Structure 1
Amino acid sequence: MPPQTRGTALRHRLAELRGPDVPAKALDARALAALAANPGCRRRAILDGAGVDKTALAGALGAPSAFGQSQFALTRGNAFEAKVKADGGAELLRLVREHLDPGAEPAERATAVPDLSAIGPEGRTARTALALREAAAATEPAEDGESSQGGQGGGWVLLDHPMLALEVAGSPAFLEPDAVVVHPDGSWTVVEIKSFPMLDGSADPAKVGAAARQAAVYVLALEEVAARLDPAPRVRHDVLLVCPKDFSNLPTASAVDVRKQRAVTARQLARLTRVQDIADALPEGTCFAPGLPAEQLTAAVEAVPATYAPECLSACELAFHCRQRSRAADEVTALGRAVRAELGGLATVEDVLSAARGESGDAADPAVAALRRAAALRAEALGVPCP
């Protein structure tokens, strides 16, 4: 089957899984980073690939999720972002130059702020690629070795909410960073604008880590655009994180090196099973439309294996449902990935307890030996007979 025909067949199949007349939910960088952090979860891969609204699905399954931002946080974040980008991005460019490119020429505002509006995500992606190509052409060296603008580069270019595409498990994901800045030397920088504060020059490490993983996804997508140009512009691995300063609404920034997050995300995304393979393995008639009866939805969701871990609670809308099922099945994954890795082939809590009591398991197995040693120490500490 030709690639174009396969792509059309996959889109039809994913639409069937999503449900008739159910619009697809876009896969954003936040979800993509969470998916990359748990590449073994086929359930999340197919639901995200099909564009299923997991929040609505979780509610229909009787396990509503508390995952997501409040309306107040969204409103505050949008207002802060508008302040940062005001006046042609003057303040944003000042922060980029100060933290990432102090040797570049200063700019009161961007030389260009391209119009990236177009019909649909595909059109916006193409328009973004064109704007980046035009910015790269403006800084191409002339025959005498100087840039096309007298050695001063093409000036600062600000792309406000560009659209990038990244293939994930054989299906395209459209991503929208807060901004991409083209430096006078032609290099590209991803800008992440967050509403959590930087207190005394530092922010919550957990929130900074989440922002870095999200920005790494944008860097990967931007590198694919750069690879199609000749010569390929440099995509900087130091992204700019812009946050409110202390308890004010004044913007401050910090450079964040995302090389590690980029490498991990690229490796994990490459490990994802192709969405086509997961869809082909599902029973005929499987559908995840939230309007279906709970029993039918439960059967559809359970037809796809999940890899639950407590970390899912902060990253996936279906985490409460998967946790209930994991506990009901007595799976050790509910105790965390680190514990699961230490237990080797012991897959259930009952298997672990049985091995600790000496009722099952190979004594030569390091995990079994450690469990029996722990059980003996516990019995000795409590003064009870050793099981």
Structure 2
Amino acid sequence: MPPPRTRGTALRRRLAELRGPEVAAKALDARALAALAANPGCRRRAILDGAGVNKAVLATALGSPSAFGQSQFALTRGNAFEAKVKADGGAELLRLAHEKLDRAAEPPARASLPDLSATGPEGRVARTALALREASGAPGTWTLLDHPLLALEVAGSPAFLEPDAVVVHPDGSWSVVEIKSFPMLDGSADPAKVGAAARQAAVYVLALEQVAARLAEGPEGGPAPRVRHRILLVCPKDFSNLPTASAVDVRKQRAVTARQLTRLTRIEEIADALPEGTCFDPGLPTAELTAAVECVPATYAPDCLSACELAFHCRDRSRTAGAVTTLGRTARAELGGLSTVEDVLAAAHGTAGDPADPAVAALRRAAYLRAEALDARETVPCP
């Protein structure tokens, strides 16, 4: 077996071939990781994200452009709000962190803002780890890390993640800060948006926990710094541009995300199963590109429409195949071994399926009751 460094180099070369030799890699961010963890059975998304394929460009090349993603206006508004929150050395941000997360600590009259600049993502990850170690070893002071870079291993491949900020408390513990541009009205925000932010922050918490574990295993040793599971969510207050915040407990999201990420098939296994010469370069002819995408199995569900750029393409293929996953994961789970709409209808009308199967029995009973209501019982056998 080749050494890990050789295997890693071979995998990166293979992923570059899949992406296209002249195509720049798209970084895998926490939003994409959270969506990937929500659908761990989708090998198509796993290999495309692992290879750094821009799925929005790929979807357009396939003829199924996606409307997924933020508008330029939302991005500009979000960047302006984040700059306001972090103005004056992050004074307002640290005040909110003290108020919502750590009232027992001394107020942040002064804070440290370490320089996290370095060459390349690996250099920035190392510089972030060093800044976290130094801040944790300086009790009694607040430290604000602005856009640190963290590394998290996903399906055998590293993903580089950049949270909005990380606060190091005077006791040496770490907290993730998420800054969003959606409003917090009367102290509460849209639950769906808060849930999405919590899932994204949970990915950062997992990455920070890996950093803490590595610091504890380092030459200096010592206990691992504590990563807090209550994150600081900062949003505009009501209809103004003034920042307000709320503490959000992400323990549930962290546990679910960690479990789902461990279920992901390793990227090299998916890559090894692809035909030789497979490439997802959007510049390829549509027929060739479609064949390349279709050789990787997908697991489509309606949830993908709000989380994946390829959702429209996968939905069309799922509908064409008559897959019951098009109806949602709940329906798919209740139908057991019936994987297509054709199988479901045949089972309901008594022309296929094992009557002892609970799913088949339930379908036949439902079909009979429907026919009885429509006074067409002779067309459906009594279950």
TM interval, short-chain normalised = over 0.9
Counterpart in the other structure of 1:28 = 29
Counterpart check, 1:40 vs 2:32 = no
Counterpart in the other structure of 2:129 = 129
Counterpart in the other structure of 2:11 = 10
Task: Give, in whole Å, the separation in 2 of the partners of 1:107 and 1:46.
Answer: 44
Counterpart in the other structure of 2:270 = 278
Counterpart check, 1:175 vs 2:161 = yes
Task: Give, in whole Å, the separation in 2 of the partners of 1:232 and 1:345.
Answer: 46
- Are the counterparts in 1 of residues 149 and 160 from structure 2 also a CA contact under 8 Å? yes
Counterpart check, 1:215 vs 2:201 = yes
Counterpart in the other structure of 1:308 = 300
Task: Give, in whole Å, the separation in 2 of the partners of 1:78 and 1:6.
Answer: 39
| Structure 1 SS opposite 2:48 | helix
Equivalent residue pairs, number: 372
Task: Give, in whole Å, the separation in 2 of the partners of 1:44 and 1:288.
Answer: 12
From 315, 338, 356, the equivalent of 2:348 is 356
Please give the residue correspondences for 1:235-384 in structure 2 after superposition, counting only pairs within 5 Å. Answer: 235-384=227-376
Q: Deviations over 1:214-264 (max 9, x none)?
A: 000000000011112222111000000000011110111110000010010
Which residue type is aligned with residue 212 of structure 1?
A
Which residue type is aligned with residue 126 of structure 2?
A
Counterpart in the other structure of 1:225 = 211
Counterpart in the other structure of 2:102 = 101
Task: Give, in whole Å, the separation in 1 of the partners of 2:295 and 2:9.
Answer: 24
Q: Deviations over 1:59-87 (max 9, x none)?
A: 00000000000000000000000011111
Q: Deviations over 1:244-295 (max 9, x none)?
A: 0111101111100000100100000001000000000000000000000010
Task: Give, in whole Å, the separation in 1 of the partners of 2:232 and 2:263.
Answer: 28
- Are the counterparts in 1 of residues 62 and 289 from structure 2 also a CA contact under 8 Å? yes
Deviation at 1:120, TM superposition (A): 1.5
Counterpart in the other structure of 2:55 = 54
Counterpart check, 1:187 vs 2:188 = no
Q: Deviations over 1:168-206 (max 9, x none)?
A: 000000000000000011000000000000111111111
Q: Identify unmatched segments of 5+ residues in structure 2.
A: 216-221
Aligned residues: percent identity?
A: 83
Task: Give, in whole Å, the separation in 1 of the partners of 2:38 and 2:304.
Answer: 9
Give the RMSD, CA atoms, in angstroms. Answer: 0.7
Task: Give, in whole Å, the separation in 2 of the partners of 1:11 and 1:228.
Answer: 24
From 126, 145, 153, the equivalent of 1:159 is 145
Task: Give, in whole Å, the separation in 1 of the partners of 2:27 and 2:318.
Answer: 28
| Structure 2 SS opposite 1:105 | coil
Deviation at 1:323, TM superposition (A): 0.2
Task: Give, in whole Å, the separation in 2 of the partners of 1:347 and 1:242.
Answer: 44
Task: Give, in whole Å, the separation in 1 of the partners of 2:126 and 2:24.
Answer: 22
Task: Give, in whole Å, the separation in 2 of the partners of 1:90 and 1:171.
Answer: 37
Counterpart in the other structure of 1:115 = 115
Please give the residue correspondences for 1:73-84 in structure 2 after superposition, counting only pairs within 5 Å. Answer: 73-84=74-85
- The ranges of structure 1 where at least 4 consecutive aligned residues each deviate by more than 6 angstroms after the TM superposition are none
Task: Give, in whole Å, the separation in 2 of the partners of 1:353 and 1:245.
Answer: 52
Task: Give, in whole Å, the separation in 2 of the partners of 1:301 and 1:9.
Answer: 22
Task: Give, in whole Å, the separation in 1 of the partners of 2:251 and 2:170.
Answer: 23
TM-score by length of 1: 0.95
- Are the counterparts in 1 of residues 136 and 171 from structure 2 also a CA contact under 8 Å? no
Q: Identify unmatched segments of 5+ residues in structure 1.
A: 140-152
Task: Give, in whole Å, the separation in 2 of the partners of 1:382 and 1:74.
Answer: 53
Task: Give, in whole Å, the separation in 1 of the partners of 2:15 and 2:277.
Answer: 12
Deviation at 1:108, TM superposition (A): 3.5
| Structure 2 SS opposite 1:228 | helix
- Are the counterparts in 1 of residues 146 and 166 from structure 2 also a CA contact under 8 Å? yes
Q: Deviations over 1:302-354 (max 9, x none)?
A: 11000000000000000000000000001000000000000000010010000
Q: Deviations over 1:28-63 (max 9, x none)?
A: 000000000000000000000000000000000000
Task: Give, in whole Å, the separation in 2 of the partners of 1:324 and 1:293.
Answer: 20
Counterpart in the other structure of 1:145 = none
| Structure 1 SS opposite 2:112 | coil
| Structure 1 SS opposite 2:274 | coil
TM-score by length of 2: 0.96
Which residue type is aligned with residue 23 of structure 2?
V
Counterpart in the other structure of 2:218 = none
Q: Deviations over 1:131-190 (max 9, x none)?
A: 001112213xxxxxxxxxxxxx2x110000000000000000000000000001100000
Task: Give, in whole Å, the separation in 1 of the partners of 2:273 and 2:67.
Answer: 31
| Structure 1 SS opposite 2:233 | strand
From 190, 193, 197, the equivalent of 1:204 is 190
